[in-house]
């Protein structure tokens, strides 16, 4: 077998060392890639665990619990005040509607009263005009002749002064004596005039 000759071009030493370093680093990383990833994950977890632990300690502290209780109480108070405000606004709207309805009713009744007053004034003016006209146009009313038959049909009522009873009387009949209510007449035996003369 004949000997083969290989000829390589000369390469500068700097580039050769760089190539060698790169290839050795690649080989080292390929063999330890999983370990490097595990170490990086552990570092990330530790960097997150430290602030998280600090936050957990502060969250469970007495001051934080007191602040949470205060915030809850503030929210409850705020909700209570919102409910009261909503009820007050609802009552105000109801009162406003009632007020508007009352104003409408009063306005309607006022207009009716004005219309009624105007009609009454027109009636008064027409009556005054009729009164001011001469009486020749007015036909006098004739009274029926008062005879015994008409008066006998209707008994007349009369009333004496106020503490006495009212009585009916037929014309021509004797008028009864007024009787005092609550008083008894003196008998003849008790009369002071009778006793002094006897």
Look at residue 65 and tell me if it is in a domain: no
Look at residue 110 and tell me if it is in a domain: yes
Q: What is the pLDDT of residue 36?
A: 77
Q: Which two tokens stand for residue 52?
A: 């998280």
Look at residue 100 and tell me if it is in a domain: yes
Which pTM was predicted? 0.33
Q: Is 50 exposed, middle or buried (0-12, 13-18, 19+ CB in 10 A)?
A: exposed
Look at residue 36 and tell me if it is in a domain: no
Domain tally, the chain:
1
CA distance 184 to 148: 37
Look at residue 109 and tell me if it is in a domain: yes
First to last CA, the chain: 205
Which three-class secondary structure state does DSSP give residue 169?
strand
Which H/E stretch holds residue 102?
helix 62-132
What are the pLDDT digits (tens) for 18-74?
A: 666 667 767 666 767 777 788 889 999 999 998 888 888 887 888 888 888 999 999
Q: How confident is the model over 98-111, as a mean pLDDT? A: 95
Domain that holds residue 94: 76-130
Look at residue 169 and tell me if it is in a domain: no
Look at residue 99 and tell me if it is in a domain: yes
Look at residue 85 and tell me if it is in a domain: yes
Which three-class secondary structure state does DSSP give residue 7?
coil
CB atoms within 10 A of CB 169: 13
């Amino acid at each position: 077998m004949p000997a083969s000759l290989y000829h390589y071009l000369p390469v500068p030493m700097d580039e050769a060392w760089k190539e060698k370093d790169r290839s050795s680093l690649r080989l080292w990383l390929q063999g330890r890639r999983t370990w490097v990833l595990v170490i990086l994950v552990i570092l990330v977890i530790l960097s997150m665990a430290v602030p998280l632990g600090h936050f957990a300690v502060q969250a469970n502290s007495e001051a934080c619990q007191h602040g949470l209780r205060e915030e809850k109480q503030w929210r409850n108070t705020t909700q209570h005040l919102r409910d009261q405000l909503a009820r007050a606004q609802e009552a105000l709207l109801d009162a406003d509607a009632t007020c508007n309805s009352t104003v409408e009713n009063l306005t309607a009744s006022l207009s009716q009263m004005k219309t009624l007053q105007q009609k009454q004034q027109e009636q008064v003016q027409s009556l005054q005009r009729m009164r001011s006209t001469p009486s020749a146009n007015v036909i006098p009313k004739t009274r029926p002749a008062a005879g015994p038959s008409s008066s006998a049909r209707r008994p007349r009522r009369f009333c004496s002064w106020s503490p006495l009873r009212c009585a009916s009387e037929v014309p021509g009949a004797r008028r009864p004596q007024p009787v005092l209510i609550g008083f008894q007449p003196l008998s003849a035996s008790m009369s002071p005039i009778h006793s002094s003369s006897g």
